[in-house]
Structure 1
Amino acid sequence: MDDSKRAIGLLDSGVGGLTVAREIFKLLPGEDIIYYGDTLHLPYGPKKLSEVREYVENIIAYLKQEKNVKAVVIACNTGSSAALDYVKQKFEIPIFGMIDSAAKKAVKVSQNNKIAVIGTEGTINSQAYQKAIKYESAESEIFAKACPGFVKLVEAGKFSGPEVEKTAYRYLESIIKAKVDVLILGCTHFPYLMPVLAKVMGKDVMLVNPAQETALKFRKELNKANLLNKDIFLNKDIVEGEHKFIVSDESRISKSFLEHGRRFLKLDNLEFKEENIFLALKNRGGNLNNA
Structure 2
Amino acid sequence: MTESPIGVFDSGIGGLSVLQALQAELPHEHFVYWADSGHAPYGEKGDLFVRQRSLAIAQHLIEHHHIKALVVACNTATAAAIHVLRAQYPHLPLIGVEPALKPAIALSQTKRIGVIGTKGTLSSEKFHRLLASLQDQADFVVQPCKGLALAIEQSTHAQSATHDADQISALLGDYTGQMGRFGTAPGEMDTLVLGCTHYVFAENALRRWLGPDVQLVSTGEPVSRQTRRLLEASAQLRSGPAPHAASARMRLMTNGELGALQAAALRWLKLPHSACHKADPHV
Tell me the TM-score normalised to structure 2 length.
0.85
Quickly say closer, same or farther: Cα 1:57–1:259, change in 2 above 3 A: closer
**Which residue identity does 2:94 align to in structure 1?**
I
Q: Count the aligned residue pairs.
A: 269
User: Which residue pairs with 2:253 in the alignment?
Assistant: 246
State the identity as a percent: 27
Q: Which whole-Å CA distance do the structure 2 matches of 1:124 and 1:16 have between them?
A: 17
Question: Does the CA contact (< 8 Å) of 1:246 and 1:273 recur in 2?
Answer: yes
Asked if structure 2 preserves the Cα contact closer than 8 Å seen for 1:116 and 1:184, the reply is yes
Residues 1:227 and 2:236 are matched in the alignment = yes
Give 1:260 shift: 5.4
Q: Is the 8 A contact 1:27 1:215 kept in 2?
A: yes
- Tell me, in whole angstroms, the C-alpha distance in 1 between the residues paired with 2:282 and 2:148: 28
Unpaired stretches in structure 2, ≥5 consecutive residues: 156-160, 183-187
Aligned to 2:270: 266
Match of 2:36 in 1: 38
For residues 112-261 of structure 1, the aligned pairs below 5 Å read: 112-136=110-134, 138-157=136-155, 158=161, 161-177=165-181, 179-232=188-241, 240=246, 241-247=248-254, 249-251=255-257, 255=260, 258-259=262-263, 261=265
User: One-letter code of the match for 2:26?
Assistant: L
- After superposition, what is the alpha-carbon deviation per residue over 1:18-63, rounded to whole angstroms, capped at 9, x for unaligned? 1111111121122110111112211111111122112111211111
Distance 1:259 1:244, change over 3 A: closer
Structure 1: 5+ residue runs without aligned partners? 279-291
2:98 equivalent to 1:99: yes
Mapped contact 2:28–2:239 kept (Cα < 8 A): no
Query: Contact conserved, 1:29 with 1:238, CA < 8 A, in 2?
Result: no
Specify the code of the residue in structure 2 equivalent to 1:250.
G
Asked whether the 8 Å contact 2:36–2:256 carries over to 1, the reply is no
For the 8 Å contact 2:114–2:192, the answer to whether it is kept is yes
3-state SS of paired residue (2:141): strand
Q: In structure 1, what residue type is equivalent to 2:78?
A: S
SS in 2 for 1:148: coil
CA shift for structure 1 position 81: 0.8
Matched, 1:73 2:71: yes
CA deviations on 1:188-229 (whole Å, 9 max, x unpaired) are 111110111123122332100112221122223322322210
> What SS does structure 2 have at the residue aligned with 1:96?
strand
Query: Secondary structure, in 3 states, of the residue corresponding to 1:230?
Result: coil
Give the Cα–Cα distance (whole angstroms) in 1 for the partners of residues 87 and 21 of structure 2: 26
Query: Secondary structure of the residue that 1:196 maps to in structure 2?
Result: helix
Let me know the Cα RMSD of the aligned residues.
2.4
**CA 1:107–1:130 in structure 2 vs 1: closer, same or farther (change >3 Å)?**
farther
1:74 Cα deviation after fit: 0.2
> Which residue is equivalent to 1:285?
none
Structure 1 stretches of 4+ with a deviation exceeding 4 A read 158-161, 237-241
**Letter of the aligned partner of 1:242 in structure 2?**
R
TM-score, normalised with respect to structure 1: 0.83
Q: Relative to structure 2, which stretch is displaced further, 132-141 or 102-111?
A: 132-141
User: How far apart, in 2, do the equivalents of 1:43 and 1:195 lie?
Assistant: 22
Report the Cα distance in structure 2 between the residues aligned to 1:259 and 1:58, rounded to whole angstroms.
26
Contact 1:107–1:133 (Cα < 8 Å) also in 2 = no
